[in-house]
Chain A
Amino acid sequence: MKKFFIIFLLLSQFSFAQDTIKPQILNEIIVTALRGSQNSIDIPANISVISQNQIQNFAVVNSDELLKSIVGINIDRDFGIFSKNSSISMRGLNGSHRTLVLLDGIPLNKTDGGGVNWNRINPDNIEKIEIIKGAASSLYGGNAMSGIINIVSQKPTKKFGGKVKLFYGTYNTFGSNLFLEASNIRDNKGFYCELNGFFRKGNGYIVAPDSTKDSLDAKTYLKEYSSIAKLGYQFNKKSFLEVEYNFSDSKIGDGTKIFENDGGFNQYLTHFLRSTLKTEVFGVKILANGFYQLENYLRQSETIKRQTKKYTLYNTDSKRTDAGIWIAANYFFANNILTFGSDAKYGDVVAEDNYKTSTDILTNKGKMYFYSFFVQDEFLFLEKLRIIAGIRYDLVQFREGKFTIEEPTILTDFMTLYPKNFSDTNWFALSPKFSVNYKIFNDSKIYFSYSKGFRPPILDDMCKNGNISKGFKMANPKLKPENLHNFEIGYLFNIANLTFEQAIYYSLGNDFQYFVGTGDSIYTGGDNLKPILKRQNVGEVEIWGTEIKFLLNFVKNFSFSTNYAFNYSKIKSFTVLQNDKDLTNKFLMEVPKNQVFSSLEWKTKNLNVIFSYNFRDKQFIDDENTQESDIHSTFDFKISTQFQEKFYISLSVQDIFNQRFTDGKGNLSPGRFFISNFIYKFF
């Protein structure tokens, strides 16, 4: 940390001694904030955009790793490319279900678990990523508690175009990507299409450190395939219809192999269908999105208890559907922009745990329906001051929740005591917003914002009983949403070659969900009694923090950017129900207090070199605050060059100094990871 600040100061000194050049102005068209296009300088929020240029330049292998460069975003991807998934959180909140992630405006957070399968998003297929911090449920509804990440995919632009990418890296990781595009758009009218195929494989590594490694540990291998077909028709400058189908198959070993050839693994098979219609009718801009996602999660778990030598093999087959229609409209009149619309979403799960080393089959099912409407007005006063007020109503229904056990043995027989059919429940959420944005100059602003965010309970907590590490988890169909009220002030200044931005926020959350003991305990097959736990809305949290961004183009071809985030997230009060541990005044787990990201980039016409540094402070890894993870800091590097317009090669190194860290379970990160890319553009 100290070293970092010395480097920072030296670079700052150096910068002012050089000839100045024009700064990069953070003023872009954002499609997320208004559910329609808007200039970032007019939006009363802390906004970041990762451009296609940055996507190409950063040393990343997964799309979520791009977010490392964004102030205050915490990425939990402990095994790098070999992680079964990634969790993205921000603004002092933990868990991927408290941040809304969109792909071309379609929500990716699953109703069953709340998280997002980042592995299915190919970074080569992204045009840009927009990140808007702060609660945004007044326009987007559930999960938009800490902010929104909207991934915008590439659109075909060439008459005929294509490129092929080959890559090879550490742990014998290799793969390729084929991208084909065609477009006959003339005078803003015509068809366009895109095909994209992607695969990657890797041998992986043993995540167990040498001190605990034994013959049961195996490498966490990787096999991923993905294909995208996109077809669109542009009617005119303002209207288009686009349909996209995406299939992906991601299989990653979990690091154990006992008898089965493929050992323990996690596999996600995803079918995703999207249609987007953008048009303008009587001066009203309309954006309508329809989507259907079917994720088939397959898991094979193969374990042997080291003490008792008891062998267990079981498969999970979970089918999770998310589908919906989201419609938003913008109407511009006088000095107002009126945004209104309605969203309908459906989510369900049918999951089966099929034991092979006993006869038990456990099934859980449940459905959720979301209906909402929203309205927001943005009033422009004297061309400088914008006042925004909006509200959204969400009605949510939980239906047909069920948990069944077939042919129970001693392993699951105790579960038959607990409810099998869950009662239907309804709840609603009202999410207001009020904010003021004052544009000081064309590229500077100051703002204040109040907004509310909520996240719905997940189906997995509402209709699934089962063993967890802390005890035995009972489903709770009566769970209510978590709510968060966010107050924020911020500013953005662009002066000469310097950009400086800061946001200060204070958030109060209520009805936060924690596991609470029911007072009972039960034998779940072992020798010890385990407590029976249920998720309950029992916590109130208090968060305050700040985010600072600094960008400097200090000499021709050089740019330096750095950002710092501070979070102080505590449980303000905790309702103790049954002699449970009182978590009042405990810090929120998995939230680092301090985070820093810096990058130094040198860019010429054909060569690009970037160094980046990422610092993540200690964080508690349990609610009781008994265990803390280590400080995590890494240096990454990438060099890339383009020649003869058709060829591109690059070499990336993640974690240059091989600072391997361990996760909460004592497993190791991959350490230094090289990856070399070769791209050939044809047609």
Chain B
Amino acid sequence: MAKKFISTIFLFCMLIFQNCTKESQSNIPPKIEFLKENGFLSQDSAIPMGEKIKIGIISQKNDENITFFNVSLENDSLKTLLDSGMNSEKFVYHCNFIKTNAKSDKLIFFVMDKNRNKSTISLSLTKTEVSKFGKIKNFVSKNIGGQKNSQFGSFFSLNEGKLFTQNEASQQQNLIDIIYYFDIFEATLSSPNESDVASVFNDLTNWVTKNETRYHVTNLTEKQFDEAKNDSLLIVSFDQTLAKRKAKYVSQGQIFAFRNHSGEIGLIKIISVEKLNTGKILIDIKVQE
């Protein structure tokens, strides 16, 4: 009996300890490189302010999947342009960048894998003496209606410079950049990819293409806005780190900076706001061509 008992105890202990293995963690970081294809900038360069360049990144995992990709811009300060979570073996990333007014812009591309192994590459862009500003499009005195406004649509396309109703917008989702609605006490500039917009315009729940426009309020005066003839003011006014998917508490006299899903930067001047869901907002828009 005692022998049987001891054998059972031995078997029991074997069962308990058999699963005690320690997992080892790799410390080889993921690879990251610039795309060296035609049209993509892959080395340090000198370019004029306002010039648009295209940069491509390719990254490949080592032992663990890549989980984080970050793009930041270092000039007078360090600003995060993109924080992106993922869980991929590899990825390719394209972006457009417009040279700022800073003497030097350093773009830093950073990847991290699940084990927190990190890799970084960077590209420095120094400003040449000659500046190259882009042309802008002007949309003057545009009325955009609140969600219950029967006269004016609430959906605006920067590409077309045209206003759409909800039904029309649903047919041309890829054109919509700006949405306006009035939410209880707040006049709000939004975009199809904003989290609360579908509760106001229910059709958006089923949209396949949801463009994103990010906004932030600026300290610009109406006079500065009116005097802008090229995109220099637009470029220096937009701050990626401040931009949100909606701008709330919009009121007369404010100037908002924005960037749409295509990377075009612009400014919106608020001329007047009728604070009702049947009301409307009257605005001027200046956006890069």
On A, residues with C-beta under 8 Å from B are: 160, 162, 178, 180, 182, 195, 197, 225, 227, 258-260, 305, 307-308, 310-313, 354-359, 409-411, 523, 526-528, 683
Contacts and interface: CB of A to CB of B under 8 A. Distances in A.
In the A-B complex, the 10 residue pairs with the smallest Cβ-Cβ separation, listed nearest first, are: A357-B85, A259-B87, A356-B67, A311-B85, A527-B245, A307-B195, A527-B244, A160-B5, A227-B16, A357-B67
28 contacts: A160-B4, A182-B5, A195-B12, A197-B12, A197-B16, A258-B87, A305-B195, A307-B193, A307-B194, A310-B85, A313-B85, A313-B87, A354-B116, A356-B67, A356-B116, A357-B85, A358-B68, A358-B83, A358-B85, A359-B112, A359-B118, A410-B80, A410-B241, A526-B195, A527-B196, A527-B244, A527-B245, A683-B5
Given A227-B16, A305-B195, 5 more contacts: A160-B5, A180-B8, A313-B85, A358-B70, A410-B241
Interface in B1-29: 1-2, 4-5, 8-9, 12, 15-16, 19
Contacts of B80: 409-410
Nearest to A199: B15
B66 to A, nearest CB: 10
Contacts of A354: 116
Max chain A C-beta neighbours (<10 A), residue from B1, B19, B114: B114
B85 A312 contact: yes
Contacts of B127: none
A261 to B, nearest CB: 11
Nearest to B115: A356
A162 B65 contact: no
Nearest to B197: A307
B1 A411 contact: no
A359 B5 contact: no
Indicate the member of A225, A312, A356 with the most B CB atoms within 10 Å.
A356
Contacts of A180: 5, 8-9, 12
Determine the main DSSP class of A at the interface with B: loop
Contact of A160 (B1, B112, B196): B1
A262 to B, nearest CB: 13
Contacts of B195: 305, 307-308, 526-528
B2 A357 contact: no
Given A180-B9, A308-B193, A313-B67, A527 B87 contact: no
Interface string B77-110: 0001001111100000000000000000000000
Interface in B225-267: 241, 244-246
A180 B11 CA distance: 12
B198 interface: yes
Interface residues of B, number: 33
Contact of B198 (A162, A258, A307, A312): A307
B83 A410 contact: yes
B87 A311 contact: yes
Contacts of B114: 313, 356
Contacts of A162: 5, 8
Contact of B65 (A259, A355, A528): A259
B227 to A, nearest CB: 31
B9 A409 contact: no
A411 B84 CA distance: 11
Contacts of A683: 1, 4-5
Contacts of B19: 225
Contacts of A409: 70, 80, 83
Contact of B12 (A178, A305, A410): A178
A180 B12 CA distance: 9
Contacts of B5: 160, 162, 180, 182, 683
Among A178, A307, A410, the one with the most B-chain Cβ atoms within 10 Å of its Cβ is: A307
B193 A311 contact: no
A316 to B, nearest CB: 15
Contacts of B118: 359
Nearest to A525: B83
Contacts of B193: 307-308
B244 A523 contact: yes
A160 B83 contact: no
Contacts of A307: 193-195, 198
A356 B244 CA distance: 23
Interface string B161-200: 0000000000000000000000000000000011110100
A310 B193 CA distance: 11
Interface string B181-224: 00000000000011110100000000000000000000000000
A311 B86 CA distance: 6
Interface in B33-77: 65, 67-68, 70
A178 B1 CA distance: 17
Nearest to A302: B87
Nearest to A304: B85
A277 B19 CA distance: 33
Given A180-B5, A683-B4, A683-B5, A411 B194 contact: no
A219 B180 CA distance: 40
B104 to A, nearest CB: 23
Interface in B92-144: 112, 114, 116, 118
A182 B195 CA distance: 63
Nearest to B86: A311
Contacts of A260: 87
Residue picked from B4, B12, B194, most chain A C-beta under 10 Å: B12
Nearest to B193: A308
Contacts of A258: 87
Nearest to A182: B5
A166 B80 CA distance: 56
A410 B4 CA distance: 63
A162 to B, nearest CB: 6
B73 to A, nearest CB: 13
A354 B116 CA distance: 9
Contacts of A182: 5
A357 B9 CA distance: 46
A162 B7 CA distance: 12
Contacts of B12: 178, 180, 195, 197
A253 to B, nearest CB: 17
Nearest to A409: B83
B211 to A, nearest CB: 12
Contacts of A526: 195
B82 to A, nearest CB: 10
B219 to A, nearest CB: 19
Interface centre among A310, A357, A683 (most CB of B within 10 A): A357
B68 A359 contact: yes
Contact of A527 (B84, B85, B194): B194
A357 B86 contact: yes
A230 B117 CA distance: 44
